[in-house]
A = this chain, B = another copy of it.
Amino acid sequence: MTVPELNRSRSTRPPRPTMDDVAAVAGVSRGTVSRVLNGGRNVSGPALEAVERAIRKTGYVVNQHARSLVTQRAGSVAFILSEPQDRLFEDPNFNNLLRGCTQSLAGYDITTLLTVAATAEDRKRIGRWLTAGHVDGALLVSTHQGSPLLDELKGRGLPFVLCGRPIGHGRDVSYVAADDRDGARQMVGYLRSRGHRTIGVITGPPDTPGGVDRLAGYHDVLGETDPRLVVTGDYTQAAGEAAMAELLRQAPDLDAVFVCSDLMAVGAIAALQRAGKRVPEDIAVGGFDDSRLAVTTTPRLTTIRQPWERLSSEMVRLLLALISGDEHAAVILPTDLVVRDSA
């Protein structure tokens, strides 16, 4: 493939003003302009005013490349979604995290760069891009353990923080996660306390922390159960629908089901309605996430709240700590049961 040159030779745009231009207009040295730009310490009142006026007059904006070359900092952080791109749009949890992280980082005047690493080729390009100094660190969001990007990031020595417990990685990886197992215990315990006796579960994939830990919480409460009560989905709405249909076939006497994500619960409710079952009268449904979907279903979802805001702010806090040289750390945040109408 021929790659056209991206040259600016024919460009008629005027050259950007530099610090020297500002200094000349203000009648001071470049050093003084720089001091004004970086907080105004050790600058006299008149000088400061002259520089600010000159900046406005010239329309000066700092050249980030020059600055970063000196400071060795980029001033931005990557938010990497290591999933097929559609997931970004289907799963409202990603939205919550992105919003929270962006806001939190903005508080430190750091720009968040969202990157979707869907294919192997994407990952290669992004890996190069990350290492070239564009960002100071990365927030990595992915549901599956096998994210090859994780190993790449490790190899490249760029500080990063995961969302969710990384399966198969040790203490050399920083992460923030909700207490999946305890959340599952709360939900299943609640279902049982409401008198339900035959409680099924629709789990996430076994290579995800949510898939493993929420199922473990289910068994913590119920002990061993009939294997026909357990069906695996992949966190999509379609999977929830299919899994529910299968559960109904395998275990017709079901009176409650714990669905390990709200999105799958939406699908499960659709399957139940199609089968002529009333929720919660015939079958109670419990979700997980407390995403915005939870209040748009009919009936509204009883679910487990993940502390999205705190997950985001802890991810950012941890990342900034890593960047300034701290050791790796893991943060587990508690979850809450939110009772609505579906159970």
Please choose the segment from A44-52, A66-74, A166-174, A202-210 that sits at the chain B interface, where 4 or more of its residues have CB less than 8 A away. Answer: A66-74
Taking the closest CB of chain B, its distance from the CB of A25, in whole angstroms, is 19
Given A98-B85, A113-B114, A324-B9, residue A69 in contact with residue B63 (CB < 8 A)? yes
Of the candidates B10, B66, B324, the one whose C-beta lies within 8 Å of that of A7 is B324
The copy count of this chain in the complex is 2
- Distance of A112 from chain B, by nearest CB (Å): 8
A126 pairs with B111, CB closer than 8 A: yes
Name the residue among A4, A9, A75, A134 with the largest chain B CB count within 10 angstroms: A134
Size category of the binding interface on chain A: 35 or more
* B-side contacts of A116, CB under 8 Å: 98, 102, 114
Verify B320–A4 contact, CB threshold 8 A: yes
Q: Within A87-143, which residues are at the interface with B (CB < 8 Å)?
A: 88-89, 92, 94-95, 98-99, 102, 106-116, 121-122, 125-126, 128-129, 131-134, 136
B324–A11 CB distance below 8 A: yes
Q: Is A326 an interface residue (CB 8 A)?
A: yes
A212 and B13 alpha carbons, distance in the complex (Å): 34
Enumerate chain B residues within 8 angstroms of A98, measured Cβ to Cβ: 85, 116
Tell me whether A224 is interfacial, beta carbon within 8 Å.
Answer: no
A113 touches B110 (CB 8 A): no
Most chain B beta-carbon contacts within 10 A, residue among A11, A94, A99: A11
Residue of B nearest to A10 (CB): B325
Q: Are A69 and B72 in contact (CB under 8 A)?
A: no
1/0 per residue, CB under 8 A from B, across A244-283: the answer is 0000000000000000000000000000000000000000
When chains A and B are docked, how far (Å) is the Cα of A295 from the Cα of B321? 47
The reply to whether B61 and A131 form a contact with Cβ atoms under 8 Å apart is yes
Q: Across the interface, which residues of B come within 8 angstroms of A3, CB to CB?
A: 107-109
Q: Which one of B92, B112, B136 contacts A89 once the chains associate, using CB atoms below 8 Å?
A: B92
Docked pose: A277 CA to B73 CA in angstroms: 61
B324 and A10 form a contact (CB under 8 A): yes
The answer to whether A76 touches B8 (Cβ under 8 A) is no
Whether the pair B129, A111 counts as a contact (CB closer than 8 A) is yes
A113 to B115, CA, bound (A): 6
Nearest B residue to A107 by beta-carbon distance? B1
Which residue of chain B is the closest to A81 with respect to CB atoms? Answer: B114
Q: Does A157 contact B (CB under 8 A)?
A: yes
Residues in B neighbouring A193, C-beta threshold 8 A? none
The answer to whether A10 and B320 touch across the interface, beta carbons within 8 angstroms, is: no
Is the beta-carbon distance between B99 and A95 smaller than 8 angstroms? no
Given the known A-B contacts A62-B132, A114-B115, A320-B4, are A95 and B85 also in contact in the complex, defined by CB atoms under 8 Å? yes
The distance in angstroms between the C-alpha atoms of A13 and B134, with both chains bound, is 17
